[in-house]
Amino acid sequence: MNVLILGNGGREHALTWAISRSPRVGNVICAPGNAGTHRIARGFPLDLADAAAVLDVCRREDVNLVVIGPEAPLVAGLADTLRTAGLSVFGPGAEAARLEGSKAFSKEMMESEGVPTARSATVRSVAEAAKALEWLGERVAVKADGLAAGKGVVMASDRTQALDAVRQFVEERTFGSAGERVVLEEWLEGEEVSVIAFVDGDEVRALVPSQDHKRAYDGDRGPNTGGMGAYAPYPGLEGEALERAVQDCLVPIVRGLARRGVDYRGVLYAGLMLTSDGPRVLEYNVRFGDPETQVILPLFDGDLLEAMEATANGTLAQLPPFRIAPRAAMTVVAASAGYPAGADQGRRIAGLDRADDRGTALVFHAGTEARDDAIVTAGGRVLAVTGLGESLAAARQVAYETLASIHFDGMQHRTDIGARALGGVTASGGNGG
Ligand code: AMP
Ligand code: GLY
């Protein structure tokens, strides 16, 4: 089976790594890919916004399964174009991708399907927002409706901050048309967990729950990022509690879409807040999380390609239950100076050659590029360094020791990934703040 993986981040490196291990795999292409994927699979420049160009690659390379990594092409309808042309595709069509592409639509779906979530209001102006705050309360999350690369959420502690954020989104258009509508949501307290499931139109099967760390600096301070590190399994959501969360938070959405004639095939990701009243959905994504994928896939004990093919073809129910390795994984993101506001680029990365020698470490590339005989930084998040171990503490030690052997100018990372789960320990030698 020839597989085309689309994207160029750490998530796609992890997908390419896991798919390449399948006994069923033939040729693997990851396009455009990065310096990490290019070491294990072919890749070449490809504009994912150009559906005709992607289709052309599929025909030329005799591709049997297309795996779409990032949200933008899913929201733009790439999966529909490819399916119409007769290809097997892992990833939902445009109609279903609105779950991620529009926070207002996502809230409508949650409300109509009875999914537990924060109370909210969708507004188009500062005046409407001021009215909504009267009944919502003043401590709110202010969210741009459309795609904003994980950065379109402002946590406002009072009315002034909330209305300021609304003004920036709807009047100053900080995120362009993504801010035309704004969702205001009550501020929930609790631990966050990412529940990522395969959905084949009907069957919903969860992978191991994980916890991301979205803030830039140690102690969950600083701006929101795409994610600075993650670990799995998340110890607070196992067994029956996970099953219940899947039944309450994921299954109703899949059923609701099916009733509306929308067939969901790919990954459905629920970002949950575990509140004292139980799980509440903060958001849906229609793709794998990054960097969650870099800890979830190393714990998937089985043939990932077989599971993805069954998901794309609607035959997931025929597979035995997913097996999760009884181990732990942790990944720490090494980011460029200036991330998330901007990103310094072109810095030579040292120490990659020996980094994954120990067998329990996996260095996934995100923003990297080969230049002459070196690998250089080429984005905000540069690497996701994953450690595996018999316990979270062991996985953490491997991840941080491996990270310590890698260097590039301006490298920044958090030193406290997984610290809350482990009772507050911080790795030494970082510069997280
Ligand atoms: P989202 O893109 O909707 O997941 O929001 C990004 C981040 O903002 C989440 O991962 C949370 O850390 C935070 N957040 C979003 N909504 C809420 C909420 N209602 N209450 C508390 N934190 C939130
Ligand atoms: N790590 C969060 C996301 O992928 O949206």
For 276-294, write each residue's pLDDT tens digit: 999 999 999 999 999 999 9
Mutate to test the pocket of ligand 2, among 99, 212, 296, 332 (most ligand atoms within 8 A of CB): 212
- pLDDT, tens digit, 9 for 90 and up, residues 351-403: 998 877 778 999 999 999 999 989 999 999 999 999 999 999 999 999 999 99
CATH number of 125-180: 3.30.1490
- Closest ligand 2 atom, residue 212 Cα: 1
- With contact defined as beta carbons under 8 Å apart, do 241 and 65 qualify? no
**Residue 19 in this model has a pLDDT that exceeds 70:** yes
Sign of CA dihedral 310, 315, 318, 320: positive
| Confidence label for 425 from pLDDT (cuts 50, 70 and 90) | low
Local confidence band at 426 (pLDDT 50, 70, 90 cut-offs): low
Domain 3-94 part of CATH 3.40.50.20 = yes
Token pair, residue 333, equals 């993101």
Whether the pLDDT of residue 343 is over 70: the answer is yes
Give tens-digit pLDDT for 131-148: 989 999 889 999 988 887
DSSP 348: B
> Domain extents for the chain?
3-94, 125-180
Q: What is the pLDDT of residues 199-224, one digit of tens each?
A: 999 999 999 999 999 999 999 999 88
What pLDDT is recorded for position 433? 34
C-alpha span between 56 and 64 (Å, rounded): 13
Residue nearest to atom 5 of ligand 2 (CA): 289
How far does residue 61's CA lie from ligand 2's centre (Å)? Answer: 30
CB 226 within 8 A of CB 381: yes
Same topology for domains 3-94 and 125-180, yes or no? no
> Residues lining ligand 2, judged by CB closer than 6 Å?
150, 212, 226-227, 285, 289-290, 292
* Among the bound ligands, the one closest to the CA of 137: 1
- The C-alpha atoms of residue 252 and residue 255 are separated, in whole angstroms, by 5
Q: So what's the pLDDT on residue 153?
A: 87
Position 427 scores a pLDDT of 62
CA of 407 to the centre of ligand 1 (A): 32
Mean of all residue pLDDT scores within the chain: 94
3-state secondary structure of 308: helix
* pTM score of the predicted model: 0.94
Would you place residue 130 in the very low, low, confident or very high pLDDT band (cuts 50, 70, 90)?
confident
